[in-house]
Amino acid sequence: MRIDIVSIFPEYFAPLDVSLLGKARRRGLVDVTVHDLREWTHDRHRTVDDTPYGGGPGMVMKPEPWGEALDTIAPPPVTPRLVVPTPSGRPFTQALAVEYAAEPWLLFACGRYEGIDSRVVAAARERMPVDEVGIGDYVLAGGEVAVLVMVEAVSRLLPGVLGNLDSVTDDSFAPGAMETLLEGPIYTKPPVWRDRPVPEVLLSGNHGAIARWRRDQALRRTAAHRPDLVARLTGLDDHDRRVLR
């Protein structure tokens, strides 16, 4: 997969060299290029922002550098999927991460200040698929951290990036896996730590009992942390209702 990222703060993306993704890049599984938007300015001050038409607080990113950046990185007729991080976008979910992981080429356009002049997205939509995407109900200072989140969520789904394929299908929010329950508690050695034993069933070797216990724990945790998800679950039976009481 190819990933291009445009930002006025390329330094934000240093973490992409680390850990899982860093290794995937070195192995050639994902090809990431970070671009400085100011390369596409032409004035002495390398200006990327201006005051908003109609008034209001803050600054708006000017369209011209963005137009040139997108045309240079993705010259027509080539069409990456353009992702514009914004708190007013559609929610980023595991389902969208799975969709992105199937794309050959993603292009992320990071806005700062109050955002990018809306004509940039309107013009881009005429020649490539464009998603405006937010990562949660809070406001960040810019799209950079949201792009780090999305790139990490997507790249761990790429073939060969994770060692163990099962660790993807077991994920909280993995489509189909454990319905849509949060993952329950997990344990490793030693069997007793500070007077706390590991739950006995996990040492029993009874795989059916272990699977049932894990699902019950997942259901309890989901009810505690995400009652909205439990409300939408279909097919809860009497056993489940007892677990939730």
- Feature table: binding site: 111, 135-140
Catalytic residue at 87? yes
Indicate whether 8 belongs to the interface with ligand 6GU (CB under 6 A). Answer: no
Stretch that binds ligand 6GU, among 44-52, 58-66, 81-89, 207-215 (CB under 6 A): 81-89
Smallest gap from Cβ 180 to ligand 6GU, in A, equals 21
Beta carbon nearer to ligand 6GU, 7 or 222: 7
**CA distances for 174 relative to 61, 216, 227, angstroms:** 36, 18, 18
Catalytic residue at 183? no
Q: Are 147 and 108 in contact (CB under 8 A)?
A: yes
Q: Which of residues 129-148 bind ligand 6GU (CB under 6 A)?
A: 134-136, 138-140, 142-143, 146
CA-CA distance, 147 to 6, in Å (whole number)? 10
Indicate whether 53 belongs to the interface with ligand 6GU (CB under 6 A). Answer: no
Q: Are 83 and 131 in contact (CB under 8 A)?
A: yes
Backbone CA torsion sign across 186, 190, 196, 202: positive
Candidates 102, 100, 65; CA nearest to 85 is: 100
Q: Are 150 and 83 in contact (CB under 8 A)?
A: yes
Binding-site annotation: residue ranges for S-adenosyl-L-methionine: 111, 135-140
Catalytic residue at 199? no
Candidates 113, 110, 117, 139; CA nearest to 13 is: 110
Beta carbon nearer to ligand 6GU, 140 or 198: 140
Smallest gap from Cβ 132 to ligand 6GU, in A, equals 8
Beta carbon nearer to ligand 6GU, 65 or 142: 142
Smallest gap from Cβ 153 to ligand 6GU, in A, equals 13
Q: Are 30 and 24 in contact (CB under 8 A)?
A: yes
Catalytic residue at 171? yes
Residue type, position 245, single letter: R
Using CB under 6 A, which of 7, 86, 155, 222 touches ligand 6GU? 86
CA-CA distance, 35 to 176, in Å (whole number)? 37
Residues that bind ligand 6GU (CB under 6 A): 85-87, 134-136, 138-140, 142-143, 146
Active site residues: 87, 114, 156, 171
